[in-house]
Structure 1
Amino acid sequence: MPRALSTLTLSDARRMLEAGEAKAAGLGIPYNIAVVDAGGALIAFARQDGALEGSIDLAIGKAKTARIFDKTTEYLAELAQPGAPLFGIGQSNGGHVVIFGGGVPVMIDDQIVGAVGASAGSVEQDIAVAEAAAAAISSIQHREGGQR
């Protein structure tokens, strides 16, 4: 029996970008925000006027990393420290893994349907923008527990 795959839609991604951009505006920082689907493919991307060029690939990389590992990039960063269980993970997947905060898996009805990545501010600000974007459509489980 075939399984149904749930994934984010372009409409979902647009709502997420809008929410992330609003959070970024509140911080006073122009942001790069990326949304990927359940397979990790880019659905939508926003680069606010003046957002750092170097953060384009980071936002996309954070979103893809959060999706392929189904964990926040903040949590992966903890696991990737010297002596931690996933030390070296940043060099996996052709070196395309981004392991600092700002990538968040997106869940609907306890199923991961994609992810969002944000980059341009501090790690804490990136996390806040990504979480705001995910919360626009998601049943996101924050850092305090659950899906990290």
Structure 2
Amino acid sequence: MAPTKTIETLTLEAAQAAAHACATHSKAINVPMNIAVVDASTHLLHFSRMDGAKLTSIHIAIDKAFTAAGHRVPTSTYKEAVWPGGAAFGIWNTNGGRFSTIGGGVPIKNSRGEVLGAVGCSTGTPAQDEEVARAGVEAVERLLKGEGRERAKL
């Protein structure tokens, strides 16, 4: 067995495409957003704050992307499990307080189900944030399929 492993991750170009798709969808629903895209290792790759997005939501968007990439599921997954007595009660205190249980973080996966990164959005309701984040994820999925522009090097 090899002592190292190569991990597929997003490029800046793919992160920018995701952020652009998020911003476009955000404008369509008239809710300005903070948009964060992280790589497969949960590190911030791209961030955008749209005019009118809440300043207090900047770190929330980043933490949503961090959580979605690190746990490989949308942050909305934890909605019912984080209440007192729930299976994940207290999980928001992990990872230096960065673990987000608020909808709006969505992982980006390749065709093998491996996480390439994630998108986190914040300013609207959790449902609006997730809707906008999914627009970014779908943009990268189209790139992975070679649709639109020439296939990005992801």
Q: What is the TM-score of this pair, normalised by structure 2?
A: 0.86
Give the SS at the match of 1:113.
strand
Distance in 2, Cα, partners of 1:108 & 1:32:
24
Question: Does the 8 Å contact 1:108/1:137 carry over to 2?
Answer: no
Matches within 5 A, 1:35-50: 35-50=37-52
Deviations 1:44-66 (A, max 9, x none): 01111121101111100100011
* Aligned pair partner of 2:86 in 84, 87, 93: 84
Identity of aligned residues (%): 40
Cross-structure match for 1:143:
none
Cross-structure match for 1:115:
118
Cross-structure match for 1:6:
8
Amino acid at match of 2:15: A
Q: What is the Cα deviation at residue 81 of structure 1?
A: 2.0
Deviates more, 1:91-100 or 1:8-17: 91-100
Q: What is the TM-score of this pair, normalised by structure 1?
A: 0.90
Cross-structure match for 1:56:
58
Amino acid at match of 1:48: M
Larger Rg: 2
Distance in 2, Cα, partners of 1:120 & 1:77:
18
Distance in 2, Cα, partners of 1:9 & 1:69:
20
Number of equivalenced pairs: 139
Structure 2 gap segments, 5+ residues each: 143-154
- Over 3 Å off, 4+ runs: none
The Cα RMSD (Å) is 1.2
